[in-house]
């Protein structure tokens, strides 16, 4: 295992803004992470999911050595992260979608050169990696542009490229596509896919965009209020918590709608000119048979469960 | 160590890239320094119209002490002042320290050298000029050994002054935003420009031993004008080592309390 954590807890002490005054501080405790244990194997691309304030970022910060846990143990590449051994720090990278680590007033290349010194990257490896980033992420025009003159998407490309310069074994990505448009998000995803395939890094990704998770991660870990509520394959998550599938039929005219109304299946509804049938895996065969016998197959589509709905369902129902 | 010098060198080059776009800032800074020197000379003249010496130091020796203290402050401003100030204003408050903590170098050094300001080099040159002028005009015979010990103790003083500066911002780990401590340090710099013996005992103990900002300029200056004393040199080395350990210990304690900032 490349990452293991055992009952990691993190409690923050904060001033209660309602109760505190200039001369009196009333402290309140917030448990951001509660007894979180997990294991991650080398080369895995793991999605870390949870609602806002679930403790995802806090946990990533503990695993990357930025903050100390209140209790518990963790080993990343055999190191205790918060001891910040230089060999450990040379083997990881963290990218946060809401913060810049590159120098704001400088052209990207100048920041890269500084990182080369910080990470002791040999000249040849540095050049090869910059070339690889330019080719994979298409950032040739960005190399000599100042960070402050870039769009959010361009900045994120540069941030990601910077994080790969020293060939990290583990990459922590905290909402790298936040605020990006569809094209930029897709470009970032494609880059991550390619680079993961080429370099075989272990990547842990937190994102609120299900598109990112579905496209990149086989395994997902869901946490809520600092506790793990699911750890397994995304496919199994869908099967377990969203057993229903949707059969959609285009209903062109009134006669089609009448035929739809006469179907024996009970869980059906019409939304505008689309007939929607929700059916569980057990009865899918029988239902599709009836639908195909009644309608032209070209008008019928069977949809997979919507991951976003599955996750929302888990958060709302607190499944453990 | 070489690695840190390379990082400083690249950071300085980057500082030049950034600041060459705003020459007005550099020129106004330099004019301000010239004005400050002139006001200080007028002020010293007023003092020396009433007395021949301050604790045995003549006008030019005092001018030297003033300019020498400004060189120490100038070196700090050139390399570390902005980085140290950023700890009190944004690094901890906005969680920007996160990225320094994930780099395989000492985060205290990295964050403090990350924002050098190259134009302070001009101020340093200006004050070097004032020190040379003061030495020549002081009329005191100065030997090669005096110059050697001055330069040796200057390096030690730079290191000690750096630790004192870092110590003043470490409480930010607990109080999140503490500009006032940096302001306080700015005021304490005033102790560096006068000979130690003009101060009462409690101030000597406070700012020569407990928080030895006074020692950073006074001991090297004494070594230049008078026969260098082994005890003073040992004191400077010893106290710098002590403050190295205190600063590192406090910094590590602060890091344990670092909570970053929400995303």
For residue A320, what pLDDT is reported?
47
Contact of A205 with A59, CB cutoff 8 Å: no
Q: Which residues from B are below 8 Å from A when comparing CB atoms? A: 3, 6-7, 10-11, 13-14, 17-18, 95-96, 98-99, 101-105, 107, 110, 255-256, 258-260, 262-263
The answer, for A57 touching chain B at a CB cutoff of 8 Å, is yes
Question: How many structural domains compose chain B?
Answer: 1
Looking at the predicted structure, is the pLDDT value of residue A259 above 60? yes
User: Could you tell me if residue B24 is inside a domain?
Assistant: yes
At residue A301 the predicted structure's pLDDT band, cuts being 50, 70 and 90, is confident
Q: For A99, which of B6, B96, B103 is closest by C-beta distance?
A: B96
Chain B residues closer than 8 Å to A67 by CB = 258-260
Q: What percent of chain A has pLDDT over 70?
A: 97
Q: Are strands A274-280 and A45-49 parallel, antiparallel or unpaired?
A: unpaired
Token pair for A266:
């009970």
The domain in which residue B133 lies consists of 2-257
Taking the C-alpha atoms of residue A73 and residue A8, their distance in angstroms, rounded to an integer, is 6
The least confident of A44-48, A70-74, B25-29 is B25-29
Contact of A33 with A226, CB cutoff 8 Å: yes
Contact of B235 with B160, CB cutoff 8 Å: no
Contact of B224 with B157, CB cutoff 8 Å: no
Q: What is the 3-state secondary structure (H, E, C) of B174-239?
A: HHCCCHHHHHHHHHHHHHHHCCHHHCCHHHHHHHHHHCCHHHHHHHHHHHHHCCCCHHHHHHHHHH
Q: Is the dihedral of CA A151, A154, A158, A164 positive or negative?
A: positive
- Best of B103, B106, B111 to substitute, by most chain A Cβ atoms within 10 angstroms, is B103
| Least Cα separation, residue B187 to chain A (angstroms) | 26
Average of per-residue pLDDT across B245-263:
91
Q: What percent of chain B has pLDDT over 90?
A: 62
For residue A266, what pLDDT is reported?
77
CA dihedral B127, B129, B132, B137 (to 10 degrees): -100
* Structural domain boundaries in chain A: 3-238, 244-304
Taking the C-alpha atoms of residue B8 and residue B116, their distance in angstroms, rounded to an integer, is 8
Please answer yes or no on whether A96 and B263 come within 8 Å at the CB atom: yes
Chain B residues closer than 8 Å to A98 by CB = 263
Q: What is the longest distance spanned by two Cα atoms in chain B?
A: 63
For residue B91, what pLDDT is reported?
87
Total length of chain B = 263
Q: For A110, which of B17, B107, B255 is closest by C-beta distance?
A: B17
The least confident of A244-253, B175-184, B196-205 is B175-184
- Best of B2, B101, B102 to substitute, by most chain A Cβ atoms within 10 angstroms, is B102
* List of residues 6+ apart from B161 with CB closer than 8 A: B72, B73, B76, B213, B216
At residue A241 the predicted structure's pLDDT band, cuts being 50, 70 and 90, is confident
User: Could you tell me if residue B54 is inside a domain?
Assistant: yes
CATH topology classification for A244-304? Alpha-Beta Plaits (3.30.70)
Which residues share a beta bridge with A93? A171
User: Could you tell me if residue B96 is inside a domain?
Assistant: yes
Q: For B14, which of A93, A103, A118 is closest by C-beta distance?
A: A103
Token pair for B43:
């002020």
The answer, for A292 touching chain B at a CB cutoff of 8 Å, is no
The answer, for A89 touching chain B at a CB cutoff of 8 Å, is yes
Taking the C-alpha atoms of residue A87 and residue A79, their distance in angstroms, rounded to an integer, is 9
For residue B212, what pLDDT is reported?
95
User: Could you tell me if residue B262 is inside a domain?
Assistant: no
Looking at the predicted structure, is the pLDDT value of residue B18 above 80? no
Residue of B95, B89, B105 whose CA lies nearest to B258: B95
Q: Tokens 């776009």 belong to which residue?
A: B21
**In 3-state terms, what secondary structure has residue B95?**
coil
Total length of chain A = 320
Q: Between chain A and chain B, how many beta carbons pairs sit less than 8 Å apart? A: 75
Report ipTM for this prediction. Answer: 0.84
Please answer yes or no on whether B104 and A98 come within 8 Å at the CB atom: no
Secondary-structure class of domain A3-238 per CATH:
alpha beta
- Best of A50, A65, A67 to substitute, by most chain B Cβ atoms within 10 angstroms, is A67
CA dihedral B68, B73, B76, B77 (to 10 degrees): -130
Please answer yes or no on whether B263 and A84 come within 8 Å at the CB atom: no
For residue A262, what pLDDT is reported?
85
Taking the C-alpha atoms of residue A98 and residue A49, their distance in angstroms, rounded to an integer, is 17
User: Could you tell me if residue B50 is inside a domain?
Assistant: yes
Q: For B263, which of A106, A119, A174 is closest by C-beta distance?
A: A174
Residue of B69, B81, B164 whose CA lies nearest to B120: B81
B96: closest chain A residue by CA: A99
User: Could you tell me if residue B118 is inside a domain?
Assistant: yes
pLDDT tens, residue by residue, B199-243 = 999 999 999 999 999 999 999 999 999 888 899 999 999 999 999
**In 3-state terms, what secondary structure has residue A234?**
helix
Name the strand (E) or helix (H) holding A3: strand A3-15
Token pair for B93:
């408050």
| Least Cα separation, residue A142 to chain B (angstroms) | 17
A10: closest chain B residue by CA: B259
| Stronger pLDDT, B116 or B186, i.e. the higher one | B116
Looking at the predicted structure, is the pLDDT value of residue A319 above 60? no
Please answer yes or no on whether A117 and B262 come within 8 Å at the CB atom: no
Chain B residues closer than 8 Å to A96 by CB = 98, 263
Token pair for B35:
């004005």
Please answer yes or no on whether A114 and B10 come within 8 Å at the CB atom: yes
For residue A209, what pLDDT is reported?
81
pLDDT tens, residue by residue, A131-161 = 988 888 888 889 999 888 898 888 988 999 9
For residue B260, what pLDDT is reported?
85
Chain B residues closer than 8 Å to A174 by CB = 263
- Please enumerate, as own/partner, the contacts of B224-233 that have beta carbons within 8 Å and a separation of 24 or more: B224/B64, B224/B135, B224/B142, B224/B146, B224/B147, B224/B149, B224/B150, B225/B61, B225/B64, B225/B138, B225/B140, B225/B142, B225/B146, B228/B145, B228/B146, B228/B149, B233/B149, B233/B152, B233/B153
Contact of B196 with B65, CB cutoff 8 Å: no
* List of residues 6+ apart from B12 with CB closer than 8 A: B116, B118
User: Could you tell me if residue B245 is inside a domain?
Assistant: yes
For residue B234, what pLDDT is reported?
96
For residue A305, what pLDDT is reported?
65
pLDDT tens, residue by residue, A78-131 = 999 999 999 999 999 999 988 888 888 888 999 999 999 999 999 999 999 999
Residue of B33, B32, B83, B41 whose CA lies nearest to B64: B41
Please answer yes or no on whether A110 and B259 come within 8 Å at the CB atom: no
* List of residues 6+ apart from A176 with CB closer than 8 A: A95, A97, A156, A159, A160, A188, A192, A205, A207, A212
For residue B263, what pLDDT is reported?
65
| Least Cα separation, residue B18 to chain A (angstroms) | 6
| Least Cα separation, residue A216 to chain B (angstroms) | 22
Please answer yes or no on whether B17 and A106 come within 8 Å at the CB atom: yes
| Least Cα separation, residue B205 to chain A (angstroms) | 32
- Best of B97, B104, B108 to substitute, by most chain A Cβ atoms within 10 angstroms, is B104
Token pair for A147:
């960070």
User: Could you tell me if residue B263 is inside a domain?
Assistant: no
Please answer yes or no on whether A94 and B98 come within 8 Å at the CB atom: yes
Average of per-residue pLDDT across A8-36:
83
- Please enumerate, as own/partner, the contacts of A254-261 that have beta carbons within 8 Å and a separation of 24 or more: A256/A295, A259/A294, A259/A295
Taking the C-alpha atoms of residue B49 and residue B46, their distance in angstroms, rounded to an integer, is 5
Looking at the predicted structure, is the pLDDT value of residue B59 above 90? yes
Angle at B160 between CA B137 and CA B2, to 5 degrees: 105
Please answer yes or no on whether A57 and B259 come within 8 Å at the CB atom: no
The answer, for A96 touching chain B at a CB cutoff of 8 Å, is yes
Chain A residues closer than 8 Å to B102 by CB = 64-66, 89, 92-94
Name the strand (E) or helix (H) holding B97: helix B97-101
């Amino acid at each position: 295992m490349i990452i293991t954590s055992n009952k990691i807890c993190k409690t923050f002490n904060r001033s209660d803004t309602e109760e505190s005054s200039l001369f009196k501080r009333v402290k309140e405790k917030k448990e951001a992470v509660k007894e979180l244990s997990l294991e991650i194997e080398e080369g895995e691309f793991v999605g870390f999911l949870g609602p806002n304030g679930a403790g995802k970022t806090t946990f990533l910060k503990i695993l990357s050595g930025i903050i100390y846990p209140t209790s518990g143990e963790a080993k990343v590449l055999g190191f205790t992260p918060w001891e910040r051994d230089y060999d450990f720090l040379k083997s990881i990278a963290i990218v946060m979608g809401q913060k810049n680590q590159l120098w704001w007033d400088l052209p990207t290349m100048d920041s890269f050169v500084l990182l080369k010194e910080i990470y002791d990257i040999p000249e040849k490896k540095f050049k090869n990696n910059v070339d690889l980033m330019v080719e994979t992420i298409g950032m040739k025009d960005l190399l000599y542009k100042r960070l402050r003159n870039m769009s959010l998407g361009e900045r994120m490309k540069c941030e990601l490229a910077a994080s790969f310069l020293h060939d990290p074994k583990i990459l922590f990505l905290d909402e790298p596509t936040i605020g990006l448009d569809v094209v930029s998000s897709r470009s970032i995803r494609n880059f991550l896919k390619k680079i993961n395939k080429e370099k075989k890094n272990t990547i842990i990704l937190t994102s609120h965009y299900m598109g990112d998770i579905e496209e990149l991660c086989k395994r997902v870990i869901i946490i809520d209020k600092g506790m793990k509520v699911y750890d397994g394959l995304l496919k199994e998550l869908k099967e377990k918590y969203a057993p229903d599938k949707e059969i959609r039929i285009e209903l062109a005219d009134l006669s089609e709608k009448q035929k739809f109304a006469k179907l024996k299946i009970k869980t059906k509804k019409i939304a505008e000119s689309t007939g929607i049938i929700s059916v569980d895996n057990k009865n899918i065969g029988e239902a599709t048979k009836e639908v195909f016998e009644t309608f032209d197959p070209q008008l019928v589509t069977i949809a997979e469960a919507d991951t976003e709905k599955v996750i929302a369902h888990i958060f709302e129902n607190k499944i453990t | 160590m070489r690695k840190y010098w390379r990082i400083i060198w690249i950071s300085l080059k980057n500082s030049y890239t950034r600041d060459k776009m705003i020459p007005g800032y550099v020129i106004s800074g330099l004019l301000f320094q010239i004005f400050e020197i002139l006001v200080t000379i007028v002020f010293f003249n007023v003092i020396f119209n009433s007395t021949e010496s301050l604790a045995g130091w003549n006008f030019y020796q005092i001018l030297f002490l003033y300019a020498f203290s400004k060189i120490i402050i100038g070196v700090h401003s050139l390399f570390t002042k902005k980085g140290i100030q950023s700890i009190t204003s944004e690094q901890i408050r906005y969680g920007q320290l996160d990225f320094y903590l994930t780099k395989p170098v000492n985060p205290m050094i990295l964050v403090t050298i990350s924002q050098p300001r190259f134009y302070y080099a001009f101020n340093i040159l200006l004050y070097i000029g004032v020190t040379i002028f003061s030495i020549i005009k002081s009329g005191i015979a100065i030997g090669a050994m005096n110059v050697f010990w001055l330069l040796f103790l200057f390096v030690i003083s730079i290191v000690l002054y750096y630790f004192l500066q870092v110590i003043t911002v470490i409480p930010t780990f607990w109080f999140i935003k503490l500009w006032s401590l940096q302001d306080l340090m700015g005021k304490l710099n005033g102790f560096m420009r006068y000979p130690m013996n003009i101060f009462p005992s409690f101030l000597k103990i406070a700012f020569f031993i407990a928080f030895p900002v006074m020692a950073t300029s006074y001991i090297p200056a004494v070594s230049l004008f008078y026969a260098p004393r082994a005890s003073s040199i040992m004191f400077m080395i010893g106290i710098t080592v002590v403050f190295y350990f205190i600063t590192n210990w406090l910094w590590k304690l602060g890091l344990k309390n670092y909570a970053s900032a929400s995303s």
